Amino acid sequence: MPHTASSSSEYRLELRGIGKTYPGVIANDGIDLRVNPGEIHAIVGENGAGKSTLMKIIYGMVHADSGDMLWDGREVSITSPADAQRLGIGMVFQHFALFDTLTVAENIALALPGKQNIEILSGRIADVATHYGLPVEPGRHIYTMSVGERQRVEIIRALLQNPRLLILDEPTSVLTPQAVEKLFITLRQIAEEGCSILYISHKLNEIRDLCHKATILRGGRVTGVCDPSLESPASMARLMIGTDLAEYRQRTRSVAGAVRLAVNGLDLPTADPFGTILSSITLSVRGGEILGIAGVSGNGQQELLAALSGETRLARRDAIIIDGAPAGHLDPAGRRKLGLCSVPEDRLRQGSVPSLPLSENVLLTANSGGAVEAGLIRFDRILDFAERCIRAFDVRCPGPAAPAGSLSGGNLQKFIIGREILQEPGVLIVSQPTWGVDVGAALVIRQALLDLRERGAAIVVISEELDELFDIADHIAVIAGGRLTEATAIADANRNDIGLAMSGSRMEKEMADAL
C-alpha cells in the first residue's frame, strides 16, 4: 500500500479548499483531497453529495469558485479536459460522453492526440478489449449499444490514453463477478506501475477489497477519510448518510397468485447488425413474485425489454400474455391499459426528458387517471402526482418545477421508478433499477419493489447487479446470447454458477474463438 507522503510534492494530486456553488446549491464546500502516486483512492457519498462536481473540476469540465489544485506539487489551472489529458488525467464517466452516430473506433479517435488511422486503432482497441475482458466491436455505432456496452467503450478509451491519474465512475456495473475480479487485478497492476486511481463506487464491499484509502463526502463536505480495509460497509454507509442504514422490511412469504405475465417461445430477429437475436424466450411470473434476470450487458436485455414493454410489437399475439390477455401485438399504450408499466435502463435518454420539469415528465407515462381530459392536460393533477412521487420516494430536489436533468442520477431514478409504481401496475418490468445509485437510494428503490410485490404485482427485474437480485428476487434466470435459462428459486441459486452462466455472452465467445 502506498505510504503517506510528508510533503505536497509527493502527492500526485492535491486539492485545497475546493468550493463550487450553483444557484441554491453548494456542490463542494472547502474540499481537501490528497492522492499519492500508485494509490487507489475511493470517493464515496450519496447521490448529490458533490462527487461528480469534484471529479469534473479535476478533469477541467467545471471551474471551481475557490481553492487550489496541485499536480506533482505544482499549482495548476485545469480549464478544459484537453488540459487534464495533457497532464495525464483520464476519466470514465457514469453518464457517457460519446457521439451516438459515430462508431466505437471513431469516438476513441477523437480522444487521442493527432490523426488516427481507424484500421490500426481498431486493432489496438481489440487488443485492449481482449486483455481487460471488456468486449466491444470497434466498428459498431454507439447508438446501437446498451448503457453497459457504452461504459466499456469509455473504459477502453481512457486506458488507451496511458493516464497517470485515472478517474473511474461506477466501472463495475456492467461486469460479472468473475470479470470484476479480473478488472481489479488490472487496476492493481496499473496502480503498481505508478498510475493513481480515483474510484467512485456505491459498492462498499468493492471499495474495501480494492482501495487503499477512501474520502467520504456528505452535503458537499468531507466527513471522513479512512482505510476501507479497516471499516465495514455499515460504518462507511454511516459516514455517507449520517445515520445507520435501514434494513429491508420483513417480507411475508405468502403463496404466489395466478400467472400475470407469460412469455411463450418468443423469437425476435434484429435488423441491427450488432443487435442480439432473441431465441425461444419463455418465462412466467405470478402475482406476488419477483423474477430476476441476470446478464452481462449486450446479451439481449435491451431487446427483451423492448419486446415486453411494447416498444417492439410482435407478430404473434400470444407471444406475450398479460393477465390472460394476448398482448404481443400491442404497443406500449395498449399494454399499459392491461396494467403493465416499465422502466428503461437509460434514465436520461428514455426514462425522462431532461429539459422538462418533473411535473411534465409525469405525462410521459402517467397520463391516465384524469391527468388528461378531453385532450386537455390537467396541470393541477400532474403537479399533485409529481409532489406525491417526490414525497413517497424521498426525491431530493427543489420541487416539481425542477428540470429532470438537474437531479442527481439516484434522485432521478427514484422519481422515474416512483412514477411507475404510483400507477399500481399489475405487471412491472424494470431494467437496471439501481445502476449508479447510492446505497440509501438503492434501499428506497428495492423496498418499493418489494412492497409492490406484496400488493400482488408480478415484477421482472433485469439487472447486472447480482447482489441486488439475490436481495429481492424470488427466482432468477440468466440471459446470455439472446437465450434465457430456466428460472431457479433464489434459495437454490449459486452465485458462482450464475456468474459463469452470465459470462457465456456471444461477444466473449467470438473473441475467444478468434484467439
Q: Over the stretch 66-77, which tens digit does the pLDDT of each residue have?
A: 999 999 999 999
Q: Mind listing the pLDDT tens digit for each residue in 109-135?
A: 998 888 999 999 999 999 988 887 778
| Rg, the chain, Cα only | 23
As a whole number of angstroms, the distance between CA 328 and CA 312 comes to: 9
Low-confidence ranges of the chain (pLDDT < 50): 1-8, 505-515
* pLDDT at res. 227: 94
Q: Would you put residue 343 in left (φ > 0), alpha (ψ -120 to 50) or beta?
A: beta
Q: What is the largest CA-CA distance in the chain?
A: 72
pTM of the model: 0.72
* pLDDT at res. 6: 37
Q: Do the Cβ atoms of 404 and 361 come closer than 8 Å?
A: yes
One-letter amino acid of 244: D
Which parts of 408-438 fold into alpha helices (H)? 409-421
- Full set of structural domains in the chain with CATH: 37-58+80-241 (3.40.50.300), 260-514 (3.40.50.300)
Q: Do the Cβ atoms of 303 and 431 come closer than 8 Å?
A: no
As a whole number of angstroms, the distance between CA 63 and CA 222 comes to: 19
Residue 427 burial (10 A CB sphere; 0-12, 13-18, 19+): buried
Q: Do the Cβ atoms of 375 and 1 come closer than 8 Å?
A: no
* pLDDT at res. 175: 63
* pLDDT at res. 183: 79
